[in-house]
Structure 1
């Protein structure tokens, strides 16, 4: 590996670490109250990374961010679930070209679906059904904010 390859790899890892840290901050400290809990902007970081860098990077940032937020918030039972939900969300959202729309729909279904299934197992069907709208709204808000930020950065 040449020096320029090492420098490029170091820059890329640094960028992914910064995007993960920003996503954790957005998800942990910016909370929008709702009747059933709160929305965070974690998904904005996931979608920004997906639109700006692509699938693999968004899967990494999404999975690590979700995992770390639950660790910091004191919800260790959700850490692996969030890793799976937001990692899959990021990977699918990063699809490009003609697959972009399908990827965004699947990313939404994956995130909401993983949390729904985990909630059924942990808390029962009633709690799971109540959580769908909040997760869906958080996803759509994150998609919108992530898209707008990526457009601003691409200019």
Structure 2
């Protein structure tokens, strides 16, 4: 913001920027999406604009643009049943990114968040592994509803699908560090700008919250803890692609000195 503006002008500009980023989140979510089997949902490019919005606007504006833009996309795009969970999850994403990058004592904060993230990630992966290797293989715990929702006709087909999803989870987990390395290389080589790990770290935390959040939301919606697992690889891919796009966009904005 230009320091020559008075308080009213700065507020007006902030409102305009927030409206613009809300619209960009809506557009990227609504018009660049791919329906996901089993989930009655979809993956999209909206996360990239959420990440950018949170960096540009801070935690309040970022939370608003992320939550409202994404929820409107669900409503307008034919997925109104996802609007409320999306509103909550995306608000959290925008707020967390904005808060992370605004902290002065980043080292201590990132250490704490890193420990929480590592513990939560390990625990969640252990939980998923248990379900996929124990509960799913136990035919008595798999109802006809599960088979119908996952579009398989027998328990044997479900086991094959489970093996496929376990491989997908492994691959998409590896995508996270690889995408960070790729992004840092692109930024350093083509933009000659120092890589900002604080941005990437906050994106990873927000993306992980999204994955957790949608798993819990889907479980609450259908009352089954097995089916939501099969949507997780898609959600991870969504946030990794969003991270890559956002890092490149933000690098361009930094080079143009639109942000520091």
Structure with greater helix share of residues: 1
- Flag the 1:52–1:151 CA change in 2: closer, same or farther, 3 A: farther
Does structure 1 residue 109 correspond to structure 2 residue 208?
yes
Contact 2:74 2:83 in 1 (8 A): yes
Give me the whole-angstrom Cα distance separating, in 2, the residues matched to 1:127 and 1:47: 28
Give me the whole-angstrom Cα distance separating, in 2, the residues matched to 1:23 and 1:108: 15
Contact 1:30 1:40 in 2 (8 A): yes
Give me the whole-angstrom Cα distance separating, in 2, the residues matched to 1:13 and 1:147: 24
SS in 1 for 2:43: strand
Name the counterpart of 2:75. Answer: 71
Structure whose alpha-carbon radius of gyration is higher: 2
Give me the whole-angstrom Cα distance separating, in 2, the residues matched to 1:90 and 1:27: 15
TM-fit CA distance, 1:89? 1.0
Unaligned 5+ runs, structure 1: none
Unaligned 5+ runs, structure 2: 111-197, 256-260
Give me the whole-angstrom Cα distance separating, in 2, the residues matched to 1:51 and 1:23: 14
Give me the whole-angstrom Cα distance separating, in 2, the residues matched to 1:102 and 1:154: 18
SS in 2 for 1:39: strand
TM-fit CA distance, 1:32? 4.5
Does structure 1 residue 14 correspond to structure 2 residue 16?
yes
Equivalenced residue count is 153
Name the counterpart of 1:134. Answer: 234
Give me the whole-angstrom Cα distance separating, in 1, the residues matched to 2:97 and 2:227: 27
Name the counterpart of 1:120. Answer: 219
Q: What value does the CA root-mean-square deviation take over the aligned residues?
A: 2.1
Give me the whole-angstrom Cα distance separating, in 2, the residues matched to 1:102 and 1:33: 28
Give me the whole-angstrom Cα distance separating, in 2, the residues matched to 1:106 and 1:19: 21
Name the counterpart of 2:33. Answer: 31
Aligned to 2:55, which of 51, 54, 58? 51
Cα deviation per residue 1:106-148 (whole Å; 9 max; x = unaligned)?
3122111111001112232232001111111111111111121
Give me the whole-angstrom Cα distance separating, in 1, the residues matched to 2:242 and 2:252: 15
Name the counterpart of 1:147. Answer: 247
Counting only pairs closer than 5 Å after superposition, residues 74-85 of structure 1 correspond to structure 2 as 74-85=78-89
Q: Larger deviation: 88-97 or 77-86?
A: 88-97
Give me the whole-angstrom Cα distance separating, in 1, the residues matched to 2:63 and 2:15: 14
